[in-house]
Amino acid sequence: MAWWPWLLVQLVVWCCTGLVAVLWWKWATRPHIDAPGPPTLPIIGNILDFLEMPVTTHKVFDLHHQYGNLVRLYVGPMLLVIVAHPDDVQHVLLTSKLVDRGTIVTNLLRPFAGVGLINIDARRWKLHRKLINPTFHSELLEGFLEAFHDGGLFVSERLARARGAATDVHPPVFLATIHNFCSTIIGMNHDLIPDGMAGEELSAAVNDGLTTVQKMTLRPWMQNKFLLRLTSKGRGVVKIVKMMENWAMQCIAIRSAATEDAPTKKRQRLLEALVKPGGQTVLPLDEIQGEVMNLLVAGTETVSLTVSYALTLLALHPEWQDAAHQELKDVFGEGDDYLRAPSLADLGRLRVLESIIKETLRLFPMVPILPRVATEDLWLSGGSPGSVLVPKGALLFVMPLLTHRLPQFFPDPQRFDPSRFLEDRVGKEHTCSYLPFGLGTRNCVGSQYSRLQLKVYLADILRRFRFLPCSQREDLENCALSLSLNPIKPIRVSCMPLGGPST
């Protein structure tokens, strides 16, 4: 029987040799591009450059500083091209027909958010977008103002509890955005958050989930849920995902139990558009569940982070906080009516506040990476006179995070300066130099929803508090690069009540 160990050794050797041969062949036949990038190693490419987790924005800024507006990377044999210049952004997002985000995005997000507009393949995306677009119509958004105001009051009440101590703004804003998502987009008060779950716990779990998504890119074995459950953070992520899945299915079941729609209703909300009374669906059930989860993830975490960044930037720049407070007094008055719910007319007059939001999104865009698969060969320039052929099959990472900080379009780009958006800049910047919600056919379906929610929240909060800094600008810049920009350590501010009622 001594021949069995020998045979087993031979089998292992031949399997390993075959695997190496396949990997070497894939490396040898990888697509090539005449663009600068860091040195590569055979088979693994540039993976060693990203072993330190999480990958932060500093890494991307360093690559851009070293290699320019068009950077070549290899994740194994897969060609990845970082795109920063507006000329190339325009070609990728507007003038070409690239709408596929690639299987890498689909595979990474599926365990956490199902399959929906964010990560669905191009073939099914068109139908989903056609069905969901009307659920964000302006007629519906106007009716959401009261819910957003309730969210602003909820955040204000939670901030008042800190009594001026350093506090992390993200958890209460995150809870408020979830409540708003349930009452506006879903159209029911069947809340996602179970009794007893603290905002800090939910906020931390989502942050762990986004960090895990990043890790899964370079550690494929983490895509296995069994292995994910071996770590405490992994178990926390799985718990939150299961909670989201169950909640989405319960919402669908409640909608299915409806007998008829209101006869006078002109515009339908998300579940009303996707699930008809009696349970008939216009999409497969798992895809409806995926859309609910996709929009929940996209519409809550990004808004709550932007509010956190905006308040911290205002704390660090008191002159702009003073300007915002003065504008709020000019619009809302200084009497008993000062803390009233904002109307669309009120919001339209808040030009300083709007410029603060726009400048915050310039420095810290909601979605820092817009992936596209090159479904055809295309020429990109990086803003230089010559052009580079990007071969079909390459994965393109359009990066608003870099585009928004190009000095030729935004002088002194690291400076927080909302006046950029107060001045008449028409024709002075590239059409594609500013893209906080993406561009083209696959832009953010909820961009107007998010803008309106941000403006209401900040108008409500800033009428009640003055903010003092407890974090530095460096803390804001030190972010993990994932679906959104997640600060490595919590961003904290001190919230000082301005006097009068806090709600």
CA angle, residues 172, 348, 309, in degrees to nearest 5: 35
Please list the residues that pair with 281 across neighbouring strands: 275
**Distances 242 to 163, 245, 280, 388 between C-alpha atoms, Å:** 35, 5, 24, 45
pLDDT at residue number 325: 96
Q: Where do the domains of the chain lie? A: 34-497
* DSSP, res 126: H
C-beta separation of 398 from 428 below 8 A:
no
Mapped to the 3 state alphabet, what secondary structure does 25-78 carry?
A: HHHHCCCCCCCCCCCCECCCECHHHHCCCCCEHHHHHHHHHHHCCEEEEEECCE
How do residues 146-196 score in pLDDT, each as one tens digit? 999 999 999 999 999 988 899 999 889 988 998 899 899 988 776 666 655
**pLDDT (mean) for 118-136:** 88
pLDDT at residue number 408: 92
pLDDT at residue number 113: 73
How do residues 398-427 score in pLDDT, each as one tens digit? 999 999 999 999 999 999 999 999 876 544
Would you say residue 13 has pLDDT above 70? yes
Q: How far apart are CA 379 and CA 389, in angstroms?
A: 5
Choice between 32 and 258, residue whose per-residue pLDDT is larger: 32
Choice between 310 and 269, residue whose per-residue pLDDT is larger: 310
**pLDDT (mean) for 463-472:** 94
Map residue 304 onto helix, strand or coil: helix
Most confident of 63-67, 95-99, 267-271: 63-67
pLDDT at residue number 39: 94
DSSP H helices, 219-284, are 225-228, 232-256, 270-274
**Amino acid found at 80:** L
54 prior amide bond cis, ω within 30: yes
How do residues 344-387 score in pLDDT, each as one tens digit? 999 999 999 999 999 999 999 988 889 999 989 999 998 888 88
Per-residue b/e over 400-431, b at no fewer than 16 CB within 10 Å? bbbbbbbeebbeeeeebbbebbbeeeeeeebe
Fold of 34-497: Cytochrome p450 (1.10.630)
pLDDT at residue number 463: 96
How do residues 285-321 score in pLDDT, each as one tens digit? 988 998 998 888 888 888 999 999 999 999 999 999 9
Q: How far apart are CA 374 and CA 104, in angstroms?
A: 13
**Amino acid found at 460:** D
* Structure confidence at residue 91 as a pLDDT band (50, 70, 90): very high
Would you say residue 263 has pLDDT above 60? no
When mean pLDDT is compared across 41-45, 70-74, 121-125, 132-136, the lowest value belongs to: 121-125
Would you say residue 503 has pLDDT above 50? no
pLDDT at residue number 64: 96
